[in-house]
Amino acid sequence: MPSKSLKEPAAIPDGAAWLDGVEQGRGRHHPEPDSPERVWQPTPEPVDWLHNTLTVTGPAERVEDFRAAAAGPGVIPWVLDLAGLEEEFLLPMAAPQDGVRAISLTGAKILARRLRDAVALNHQRALARIAHDRSCPFDLHRLLPVPAAILALGPEEGASRDWLRAHWGVTRPLRHAEALPATLDGRRKRMGQFRVAFWSADWSPWAALARLRRAWPDISLELQPHYPNAAQAGEDKGHGAMPEGTGRKDGARVGAGRRG
């Protein structure tokens, strides 16, 4: 079972609650065909969050170039289907699973519209930060941008997730990225180091790492996943540069914490 520590990224920074269900790419759940026996209800998608450490080492100037290129707002500027989101907010209130509404249909419609408006407002605020916000030290959208044609589809479409899976290796943006102190020997004056910790959904972004290594051949990028209970199993040892495509599913076969 996933360790308790995997619940760490549940809190979203900057009060942007919409990021949890929209910007983080969870996607919308479309209703099944109408059935007299069963009212459709959205089903949450279980997510395990894996803690990772990225260490970038190389000539000091090139490491600083990478640091500058990687810094961004940590936001994917999706085009949101606000009407669809409003419907999603409304359905569980209008047709609750137990059949007993806690709010009138009129009240449910008003609340669904207000929730939609809140999402729209937060979305606009996030988009406004893109041009100047560099508070996220490892922003994959800055390094490997999602194409405009994919952004236009929104985060819930299969093609969007397929693109993220193929180019980043994860289907949700990284969370809680933070710069870490360097561990490089200070006597190596010409060498630089950039370390950052972050959480990724279900597995590490190995596809992104492979592409970044090709784009930045003169620096070393080593990614260290921290699997649950790895200290006991010794799993953290020797995995600073796991090959592309090796994630928690593969790690589970050799003793890593299992994916939920």
The reported pLDDT for the residue numbered 230 is: 59
Q: Tell me: do 173 and 253 sit in the same domain.
A: yes
Q: Is residue 188 part of a domain?
A: yes
Cα separation values, 186 from 60, 148, 160, 204, 254, Å: 12, 42, 43, 30, 36
Instruction: Give the whole-angstrom CA distance, residue 165 versus residue 169.
Output: 4
Q: Tell me: do 91 and 67 sit in the same domain.
A: no
Instruction: Give the whole-angstrom CA distance, residue 230 versus residue 257.
Output: 7
The reported pLDDT for the residue numbered 244 is: 35
Q: Tell me: do 248 and 224 sit in the same domain.
A: yes
- Which residue blocks in the chain are alpha helix, DSSP H? 18, 60-70, 82-94, 105-129, 140-143, 148-151, 158-167, 206-215, 230-233, 248-252
Instruction: Give the whole-angstrom CA distance, residue 74 versus residue 174.
Output: 8
Residues in the chain: 260
The reported pLDDT for the residue numbered 219 is: 97
User: CA torsion angle for 191, 140, 171, 9 (degrees, to 10)?
Assistant: 80
pLDDT(127) > 60:
yes
Provide the number of structural domains found in the chain: 2
The reported pLDDT for the residue numbered 108 is: 86
Q: Tell me: do 187 and 240 sit in the same domain.
A: yes
User: What's the pLDDT band for 191 if we cut at 50, 70, 90?
Assistant: very high
pLDDT(152) > 50:
yes
Give residue-wise pLDDT tens across range 60-81: 999 999 999 999 999 899 988 8
Please give the DSSP secondary-structure letter assigned to residue 221: E
Instruction: Give the whole-angstrom CA distance, residue 105 versus residue 108.
Output: 5
Q: Tell me: do 210 and 149 sit in the same domain.
A: yes
| Residue closest to 173 by CA, chosen among 181, 165, 183 | 165
The reported pLDDT for the residue numbered 89 is: 85
Q: Tell me: do 70 and 185 sit in the same domain.
A: yes
Instruction: Give the whole-angstrom CA distance, residue 74 versus residue 91.
Output: 31
Q: Please indicate whether residue 124 or residue 142 has the higher confidence score (pLDDT).
A: 142
The residue-averaged pLDDT of 162-188 equals 90
Q: Is residue 218 part of a domain?
A: yes
The lowest-confidence range among 55-69, 177-191, 193-207 is 177-191
Give residue-wise pLDDT tens across range 74-114: 989 998 888 887 888 888 888 887 777 788 888 888 888 99
The H or E element containing residue 184 is none
Q: Tell me: do 111 and 187 sit in the same domain.
A: no
Q: Tell me: do 124 and 195 sit in the same domain.
A: no
Please give the DSSP secondary-structure letter assigned to residue 181: -
Give residue-wise pLDDT tens across range 2-25: 443 444 444 433 333 333 333 333
Q: Tell me: do 85 and 63 sit in the same domain.
A: no
Q: Tell me: do 164 and 245 sit in the same domain.
A: yes
Quote the domain boundaries for residue 91: 78-129
pLDDT(182) > 70:
yes
Q: Is residue 26 part of a domain?
A: no
Residue 84: HSE in the Cβ half-sphere, 13 Å Cα cutoff:
15
